[in-house]
Amino acid sequence: MDKIIILPVILPLIAGLVFILLRSYIKVQRILSVVTLVAVMITSIFMMVHINQHGILTMQLGNWQAPFGIGIVADMFSTLLVLTTSIVAICCVIFAFKTIEKEREEHYFYALFLFLISGVIGSFLTGDLFNLYVFFEVLLLASYVLVTLGGKKVQLREAMKYVIINILSSILFLVGIAYMYSITGTLSFAHISVRIAEAGQDGFITTVAILFLLVFAVKAGLFLFYWLPGSYSVPPTAVSAVFAALLTKVGIYAIIRMFTLIFYHEPEITHVFIGVLAALTMILGGIGAIGYWEIEKILTYNVVIGTGFILAGLAAFTHNGLLGATYYLIHDMIIKALIFLIGGVIVYLTGTNNLKEMSGLIRTHPYLGWMFFIAALSLIGIPPLSGFIGKVFITRGTFEADLFWLGIIGLLASLLILYSIMKVFMNAFWGETLLSEEEEYGSTKGVMVAISILTFITIALGIGPEFIQPYVDTAVEALMNPQLYIDAVFGGNDIP
């Protein structure tokens, strides 16, 4: 049973490799990519049920005893993210069938897409610092190609910035790994955690913690997000939706993992620092979101605000704060994919991304309009939609931790989201209908399936959070109690 946790990582990888051989069989690639992702989803549901009953799943590759071998660890927090990743990926790949040009499909779009998913899932499941770096590189290399695929002028320009900043942060990641290895002599998360708990987190280790925070902050778009709006708005919709939903979340996951499992001894330094960065991120992201008139720019700045808000839950570092962060993280992955897909359809229909040049789409596309409205309410955090519960718990967590300023900034950021997203709704959907259906630049044929699935999920998560509540509880319990993770990895063996 333990061995199935490798499946979510290698299934997309193998499928991607096969797709390279099947270059001209695009139909086969389409079907196989959906089949692969559904298989990943089913596996992760199995894993969730198993973890809830029997505790954290671990696998040591080659049967080397931990900490000597390479470990894969699936606790509930990772598995929930793997499940959400697979759902988002299925929706985006279905959306891609209709919207991606044939030329991109023939140039290994589906293979790259699955490599990206494999890298994302690998980062969620790995139990080893260096493998986290390797999986980061897998997903980053796939994303570099996905940003540039098509080779338009603006794509190349933004890709240059994206690639350079990410290489730089990978270099700093390696510096952090080198320091970590020289301090603790190990790279397994669980083993590092044990060694630091034994020796105490002194000033030097805290400095390394801040270095790791900066590295992951670049990937997550926490404060160091200046590369993000440009590079997320240039690729085609299906790709930018996946980026917005998944790539920044990998950085957020890494921050949460490092600062709950390893660097949890000095929260008044590290976690307060995260809180300050989160507050600044929400303020700056909010200013960006209300300042632009291009749909893509507004939506990408909303990604930035979401990052800040999730990490506010970590900064609080209480049970409720992390509970909220977990709920909100799952919600954010779904809702960012949804809102980017709808935004992409709007641009596709009107042929422009400037809000001032569009109007009255609700008359010709009522379903699209109301689904955008639902998504917008969910993004702001209005009950009974999925954003509400996460927002309540994060705010409560920050108040419990006496970080009132952080909770208040989070709520103010919601107002900025409200303004920015309602601006999109009012301008794009309300008002005089400018284009009749014949004049539109594209049609919604075939793209509504993916959008409807995601809308359904955000409503379902909002009305019935009881369905995932036991799983989220288990996840947060493990996050607050690192010993559970350590015991699962070492499995009763002596810790050297």
Chain residues in the site for other proteins (CB under 8 A): 130, 133-134, 137, 141, 144-145, 148, 151, 153-154, 156-160, 163-164, 167-168, 170-171, 174-175, 177-179, 181-182, 187, 230
State the nearest-atom distance from the C-beta of 138 to other proteins, in Å: 9
State the nearest-atom distance from the C-beta of 115 to other proteins, in Å: 13
State the nearest-atom distance from the C-beta of 295 to other proteins, in Å: 14
Q: Which amino acid is at 168?
A: L
What are the residues whose beta carbons fall under 8 Å from the beta carbon of 189, sequence distance 6 or more? 73, 127, 128, 129, 257, 261, 262, 485, 489
Q: Which is nearer to other proteins, 159 or 247 (CB)?
A: 159
Instruction: Tally Cβ neighbours within 10 Å of residue 441.
Output: 11
State the nearest-atom distance from the C-beta of 134 to other proteins, in Å: 6
State the nearest-atom distance from the C-beta of 149 to other proteins, in Å: 12
State the nearest-atom distance from the C-beta of 105 to other proteins, in Å: 21
Q: Which is nearer to other proteins, 179 or 399 (CB)?
A: 179
Q: Is the peptide bond before 267 cis (omega within 30 degrees of 0)?
A: no
Q: Which is nearer to other proteins, 46 or 179 (CB)?
A: 179
Tokens of 98: 């209709």
Pairwise CA distance, residues 307 & 187, whole Å: 27
Q: Which is nearer to other proteins, 46 or 226 (CB)?
A: 226
Pairwise CA distance, residues 59 & 8, whole Å: 13
Q: Phi first, then psi: what are they for 188, rounded to 5°? A: -75, 135
Q: Are 169 and 176 in contact (CB under 8 A)?
A: no
Q: Which is nearer to other proteins, 145 or 210 (CB)?
A: 145
State the nearest-atom distance from the C-beta of 18 to other proteins, in Å: 21
Q: Quick one: how far is CA 341 from the chain centroid?
A: 15
Q: Which is nearer to other proteins, 164 or 426 (CB)?
A: 164
Q: Which amino acid is at 31?
A: I
Q: Which is nearer to other proteins, 188 or 320 (CB)?
A: 188
